[in-house]
Structures are given as structure tokens and as C-alpha cells.
Amino acid sequence: MLNTRRLSSRELTHYYLERSEKLQPKLNGYISITQEQALETAAQVDQLCSQGQELGTLAGIPGAIKDNISTQGVPTTCASRVLAEYIPPFDATVVKKLAHSPMLGKASLDEFAMGTGNLTSAFGPVRNPWDLERVPGGSSGGSAALVAAGCAPFSLGSDTGGSIRQPASYCGVTGLKPTYGRVSRNGLIAFASSLDQIGPFAWTIEDCALVLQAICGHDPGDATSAAVDVPDFTAYLHNDVSGLRIGLPQETFSNCPHPDTAKVVLRAAGELEKAGAELSWVSMPYEKEVMAAYILVATAEASSNLARFDGVNFGYRGAGENLEEMYTSSRRFGNEVSRRLVMGTFALSQKQCGECYELGQRARQLVDSHLGNIFQQVDVLLLPTAPSPAYKLDEGQDPLTAYYNDIYTIPANLAGLPAASLPCGESEGLPIGMQLMAPKFREDLLLRVGYTWQCCSDWHLRRPQEVE
């Protein structure tokens, strides 16, 4: 539509900005709305289009960016008091790649992307558009809620243990975590460097493929970015899964604490079988190891990554007679971040914890090689994204229960695999997502299965009425 100039980017951007402003009091999905910049970019794109320039597929289409992704000249807060006034002097690589996409604003998140309910943001919780008393999931809660409520046609999130897929599931949208190394992390404010990956949210897997196409590729500015060829992802959007082997992790379904979730996801698997896929049960027995590896590795890396927020260069600097007092009084992290930093510092300490970190790495390798074996037998794994639908804002989960919200999503991070969450049903009016997981750099399989699913279902097209 933009190419044929039936609609200008300015009109489109204006529409989304207006809706974003209108729903912000209800959803609190943004930390900042960048109206002026968005309209400026839109005008530029319109100008270029009118000159007949061929721009990328996403040119002129606005989107929201999670507020842990650096944007030059625009505050990037990580939803933390520590960075409340931090304005990056450079753009993240993904932001540079989306230069022709008007940025509507910076989406809220759990503080430093640590949380599963977007409850730890220093800027207040984000609400789930399907039920404003419930969480949108986390940590990319803002990114998911904004897309679900139609405030943004797409958004970017980041996924360290499920932070794209779980909120996508809670909010009834499609979310994709690419293979580790597929998308540059340069400019993403790190939580756990070996697990973090940026990815898209949209209503459909097709739109996710378009966004992925725009943001991925080898980046010399990120030593962990993979030097692999970027395929044309749209070429894999086939309504055809015949002969594809889909594995269902038995333990996940039988132990799922929310029976409706297991039922809904299994029913979706059945639909895919009708479409020609071959289903089989596989075993993924390492739940404890998955959690142990994740907690040790993620918190250890976080404790080191966040050490720089000591009040010397960033954020608030407390008073103190000496260096140590100054450091102590400068600490302004929220409870969840503090808890993880303490755990991570403990995990890395030779004196306190001996070989804890190494144990975590070994558990990680175990999970990785087990998944490797499973992918010898099947092409794709299909399982619930989260153990249950969105929980209530005031439910007050204890930390460990909260961490277990990510139990189905963490394995993909530990092994660096691509995974996606797609809407596949509901329970008492709340969306439920199914998760697809594939071997490294096989996003094509996710796209093929996801596209086929969205051709034979309409869950991704249902919109929440509560916000209207």
C-alpha cells in the first residue's frame, strides 16, 4: 500500500501514534512515545518514495522498540531508576537497520529485562490488553501488549529466557526469538550476554519474517554475531507441512500445571497432523537441570554486565565519605534485579560457591546435547510456550514460581536455538500460545510450520475488546 502510495507513511504513523497515546493510560505499554521523531522519519520516507526510491519492505511501517535497545538521542532506561536519564550516544545495530521505520516509542519491560510479568519496571506495570488486571508477560511485556492492542504493527523485544515468547503467548500475538548470533546484540543493553537475542512481535508469523529479514545479518560490531548467509525468509512461508516431523515433549504435556494449556496446544498439534505433519512423542526430562543452568548462567553474567552501573559513570550517585560508601549509597536497583545480582555474584564466587558457575555450564551442555539428539529424530519441537495463561497483577508469585513461568522457553536460550510462540487457543478468555523450536539457523522450519498453522487457524486474528 505504501509502495503504491495509496497510504502515506505519515498517515499510517499518525494513526498508530494516536492509538498509542489513547491507550497509554490503560496499558502503560510505553516508557516514552517519540511522536516527533516518528513523524519526521515517516515524512522522510514519503519523500524518498515520491522520488521513486526503492526502500526496504518495512520502510515507512512504524514499530515500537523495547527500551533496553539503545536509541541515539532517545532515553533508553531499561525500565530502571538507574538509567532513568540515560540517553545513548549511539544506535543499536537493529535500530540502524530499521532507519526507515518510524519509531513510535520505547516499549516498557521488566527492569533490565528481568521478570516474567512486567511488574518490576520502575515506570509501573504494563497491563494485558485481554484483561487489564493481568500481566502482559515479561520481560518484553510492553512490546507484546502494544502489538496485541493494535498500537504498533510490529515491535522488537529481547529474549533471554523466554522474554519474547512468553509475553507473546500471554498477549495472543506471534513472537520470534531468532538463533543466537542471527541478530546483532550491539546496542542491546545486556542482561545475560550468552543468552540474549533480539526478535520481533507481530500479529502474524509472516510479519515476523519480514521484520526478522530487516534486522538480521552478520555484524562486525558483535563478536558473537554469526557470519552466516541470510536467506529470503519469505520464501519459506509455505502452507505445507507434509512429511515434516514434529516432536512433542511428553513430560511437558503430562506435567503441565494448567490442563487447558496442554489440551489447547495438543489440539493445535492435531491440526498440523491433519495438514500432513508426522507427530511423535519425545522425552525432555531435564527440567531441574534447565532451571539450574539458567539461573546460574543468567544471573552470573548479569552480575558482571550490570556492575558498570555503580554511580561513577551512570545514573544516580549517592554520597559517601569514601569510595565504598559512595558505591553502597548509589545502588538503586529494584528488588528482583538486586536478588539476581546477589545470586549471580554468589554463583561466580570461588570462595562462596566453589564451582557453581562451571556446574551451570555443564548443565547447559547437557541440555544442549540432549536437544541435539532430539533433533536427530524430529525436525521441529512443539510445546506450550508457558505453563499457564497470564496471571493477575496482584497474584504475588514467589520468585521461584515466577522463574518457572519460563521453564518451557529457557531450553532454546541455553542451546541458542530459534523458537517462536503463536496464538493457538484460549482459556477463560485468555490467549494461549504454542511454541515451536528448531535447530540452529533453521528459522525456515518455524516459518513453514507457523505459516501453515496460521493458514488453518484464526487465533492470531482475534483482538482484545477490553481496551476499546
Partner 1 sequence: MDYQTIIGLEIHVELLTDTKLFCHCPTGFGAKPNSQVCPTCLGLPGSLPVLRPQAVTQALRAALALDCSINEVSRFARKNYFYPDLPKGYQITQTIPLAQDGKVKVGEQEIAISRLHLEEDSGKSVHTGDSTLVDYNRSGIPLAEIVTSPCIKSPAQAREFLEALRQIMQYAQVSDCRMDQGSLRCDANISLQGEEPAGARTEIKNLNSFKAVEQALGYEIRRQSEILEQGKNVKPETMHWNEVHGVTVPMRVKEESPDYRLFPDPDLPPLVVSGEEIQACRQSLPELPQGKFERFRRKYGLPDMDIQVLTKTRGMADWFEETVQAGADPQAAANWVCSEVTRLLNREGRDISSLAFTPGDLARLIALNQQGEISGTAAKQVLAEMFLGGGDPAEIMQQLGVAQVSDADSLLTLVNSVLAENREAVSDYHGGKKRALGHLMGQAMKKSQGRANPRKLKGLLLKELNKG
Q: What distance in Å separates the CA atoms of residue 416 and residue 399, rounded to the nearest whole number? A: 25
Catalytic pick among 108, 163, 184, 330: 163
Phi, psi angles (nearest 5°) of residue 105 = 170, -175
Among 51, 322, 350, 465, binds partner 1 (CB under 8 A): 350
Among 51, 313, 376, 465, binds partner 1 (CB under 8 A): 313
* Closest by Cα among 460, 415, 419, 413 to 443: 419
DSSP string, 304-350: HHGGG-SSSSSS-----SSHHHHHHHH----HHHHHHHHHHHHHH-H
Least distance between partner 1 and beta carbon 110 (Å):
16
Give the range of 216-224, 400-408, 430-438, 460-468 binding partner 1 by CB under 8 A. 216-224
Give the range of 78-86, 394-402, 416-424, 458-466 binding partner 1 by CB under 8 A. 78-86
Render the burial of 239-265: b for 16+ CB within 10 Å, e for the rest: eebeebebbbbeebbeebeeebbbebb
Check binding of 190 to partner 1 (CB under 8 A).
Answer: yes
Least distance between partner 1 and beta carbon 442 (Å):
21
Q: What 8-state DSSP symbol labels residue 170?
A: H
Return the number of the residue (37 or 361) whose C-beta is nearest partner 1. 361
Q: What distance in Å separates the CA atoms of residue 147 and residue 153, rounded to the nearest whole number? A: 6
The count of chain residues that interact with partner 1, using the rule CB under 8 A, is 45
Catalytic pick among 139, 143, 330, 388: 139
Check binding of 316 to partner 1 (CB under 8 A).
Answer: no
Least distance between partner 1 and beta carbon 361 (Å):
9
Least distance between partner 1 and beta carbon 264 (Å):
36
* Closest by Cα among 465, 438, 68 to 241: 438
Least distance between partner 1 and beta carbon 186 (Å):
5
Check binding of 290 to partner 1 (CB under 8 A).
Answer: no
Return the number of the residue (134 or 177) whose C-beta is nearest partner 1. 177
- Catalytic, 280? Answer no
Which stretch of DSSP H or E encloses residue 288? helix 287-305
In order of 175, 176, 323, the CA distances from 447 in angstroms are 11, 10, 53
Strands 245-249 and 278-282: parallel
Least distance between partner 1 and beta carbon 345 (Å):
7
DSSP string, 372-406: HHHHHH-SEEEEESSSSSPPBTT----HHHHHHTT
Residues 23-62 as x/- pattern, contact with partner 1 by CB under 8 A: ----------------------------------------
In 122-249, alpha helices (H): 141-148, 165-171, 205-215
Q: Rounded to an integer, what is the distance from CA 62 to the centroid of its chain?
A: 18
Q: What distance in Å separates the CA atoms of residue 190 and residue 245, rounded to the nearest whole number? A: 35
Give the range of 80-88, 102-110, 228-236, 422-430 binding partner 1 by CB under 8 A. 80-88
- Catalytic, 242? Answer no
Q: What 8-state DSSP symbol labels residue 456?
A: S
Among 37, 44, 194, 338, binds partner 1 (CB under 8 A): 194
Among 310, 395, 426, 466, binds partner 1 (CB under 8 A): 310
Cα dihedral: 251, 257, 258, 260 (round 10):
30
Among 99, 314, 329, 426, binds partner 1 (CB under 8 A): 314
Least distance between partner 1 and beta carbon 258 (Å):
34
Phi, psi angles (nearest 5°) of residue 126 = -95, 145
Catalytic pick among 8, 9, 20, 66: 66
* Residues present in the chain in total: 468
Check binding of 298 to partner 1 (CB under 8 A).
Answer: no
Return the number of the residue (300 or 449) whose C-beta is nearest partner 1. 300
Give the range of 260-268, 301-309, 425-433, 448-456 binding partner 1 by CB under 8 A. 301-309
Among 198, 348, 420, 445, binds partner 1 (CB under 8 A): 348
Phi, psi angles (nearest 5°) of residue 333 = -70, 155
Check binding of 323 to partner 1 (CB under 8 A).
Answer: yes
Least distance between partner 1 and beta carbon 307 (Å):
3
- Catalytic, 26? Answer no
Q: Which residues lie closer than 8 Å to 5 by C-beta, 6 or more apart? A: 49, 50
| Residue positions annotated with a catalytic role | 66, 139, 163
Question: Which residues in this chain contact partner 1 in the complex, by CB under 8 A?
Answer: 69-70, 76, 78, 83, 86, 88-90, 92, 185-190, 192-194, 220-224, 300-301, 303-304, 306-310, 312-314, 323, 327, 345, 348-352, 357
